[in-house]
Amino acid sequence: ATNYEAALMQAFKVADTSYQANYDSGYQTAYVFLTDGEQTEGSPEYVSLVSTRTAKNVKRAETFIVIGFGSGLQDDAKIKLKSMACTGKGIYQQVADRTSNGDGDVARADFELVQALSLFSQYFTTKNTLKKRDSVTYSEIYELSWDGVTSGMEITTASVPVYDKSDRTRWKFLGVVAIDVTVCDIEQQIVDKNPDIQNP
């Protein structure tokens, strides 16, 4: 069974819980909605759920990236999913089935799926360019091992967009520069700048 309504309501619940607990990045929220079939259960008015959500005064700006996967979606269902994406101020992308007509076709299908799943990154890149946002962002903390076996250090990746600003009225996105930073280095800098931070 496929229930769009239940999926959306659960996603909204998770987001609202994180907002209320201040357990979020403070930036815009992106919902990535992936389906390989038409809705068979729940309310058929799922687009109105997104409309109500976008009209609601939530803590963060939100957008919806909608991906239709495979041939299980009829044209009318695709149109409705596109409407969901547009209502949610996002993007819709259709991805073909993974066929077995040769390694090339399989690789192509896999590539298209990866591209679709990265749509949220393309969306934010374009939006940041239009808004002329030039800020550093940090990844979630992860462990980096030098040999893939031994326990590694805790790392975060700091990244910043690179723009061609020769036309001050219209920036052009060129790419991203990133560097790995150890958590212990960040902690040490915080202590150095705030020597009394650990005092009771």
Three-state DSSP class for residue 168: coil
Q: What is the mean pLDDT of residues 174-192?
A: 88
pLDDT of residue 147: 65
Dmax over CA atoms of the chain, in Å, equals 67
Please state, in angstroms and as integers, the Cα–Cα distance from residue 123 to each residue in 52, 112, 126, following that order.
22, 16, 5
Nearest 5°: phi and psi at 143?
-95, 135
Which range of 5-19, 102-116, 145-159 scores highest in mean pLDDT? It is 5-19
Assigned token pair, 99: 């066929």
Cα–Cα dist 105/54, whole Å:
38
Mean pLDDT is highest, among 23-32, 46-55, 107-116, for 46-55
- Tell me: pLDDT of 27 over 80: no
Note the pLDDT of residue 159.
Answer: 87
Give the per-residue pLDDT at 100: 59
CA distance 41 to 5: 8
What is the residue-averaged pLDDT of the chain? 82
User: Which amino acid appears at position 172 of this protein?
Assistant: K
Span 1-17, average pLDDT: 90
pLDDT in tens, 141-159: 888 776 666 677 889 888 8
Confidence label for 7 from pLDDT (cuts 50, 70 and 90): very high
The pLDDT > 90 percentage for the chain reads 14
Q: What is the pLDDT of residue 83?
A: 93
Compute CA 9 distance to the chain's CA centroid, rounded to the nearest angstrom.
Answer: 18
Over 80: is that where the pLDDT of 109 sits?
no
Please check the confidence at residue 98 and state whether its pLDDT lies above 90: no
Count Cα neighbours of 91 within 13 Å in the Cβ-side half-sphere: 16
Note the pLDDT of residue 102.
56
Torsion of CA 16, 88, 11, 92, to 10 degrees: -150
Q: pLDDT category, 188, cuts 50, 70, 90? A: confident
Q: Judging by DSSP bridges, how do beta strands 172-182 and 91-95 pair with one another? A: unpaired
- Residue 58 CA to residue 7 CA, distance in Å, equals 18
Is the overall model pTM greater than 0.75, yes or no? no
pLDDT of 200 strictly over 60: no
